[in-house]
Amino acid sequence: MNEPRLGFKEMCERFGVTPRTLRYYEYIELLSPVREGRSRFYGPREIARMTLILRGRKFGFQLEDIRQWLQIREQDGDRAQMRAWVGLADRQLAELDDQRRQLDEAIAELKALRDDIANSLET
């Protein structure tokens, strides 16, 4: 069976990341491409991991949390990974809710200050 695999440049292009980012993800052991000489190839496992890494980053997860979460599957299986993910998601949702509250407060303050100044210019 011929599994799909991507070269280094193809991986960068497919996921919209810089070569530096891809190398860093390898350095911190989020990805482990197959090396053939100086070339790197990313198979289905690495492609799936990259998808999860970028999704995790989109949701604001720290890279270390993502790395540990990915390791859980390899060590303890899918169910353990999903249980861990629920805990991480709950923690991140609380963090995002707090950030939204802070943003709403800042927006309200800024609008009030802007309105006060705009009104003072009219008089």
- pLDDT over threshold 70, residue 1: no
- pLDDT over threshold 80, residue 78: yes
- Cα distances (angstroms) measured from residue 27 to each of 15, 49, 82, 97, 101: 18, 15, 25, 32, 36
pTM for this one?
0.80
The domain spans of the chain are 1-58, 60-123
Longest dimension (CA), the chain: 78
CATH 3.40.50.720 fits 1-58, yes or no: no
pLDDT in tens, 16-75: 999 999 999 999 999 999 999 999 999 999 999 999 999 999 999 999 999 999 999 889
Q: How far apart are CA 33 and CA 123, in angstroms?
A: 67
Q: How far apart are CA 92 and CA 77, in angstroms?
A: 22
Across the chain, mean pLDDT equals: 94
Sign of CA dihedral 111, 114, 120, 123: negative
The reported pLDDT for the residue numbered 3 is 74
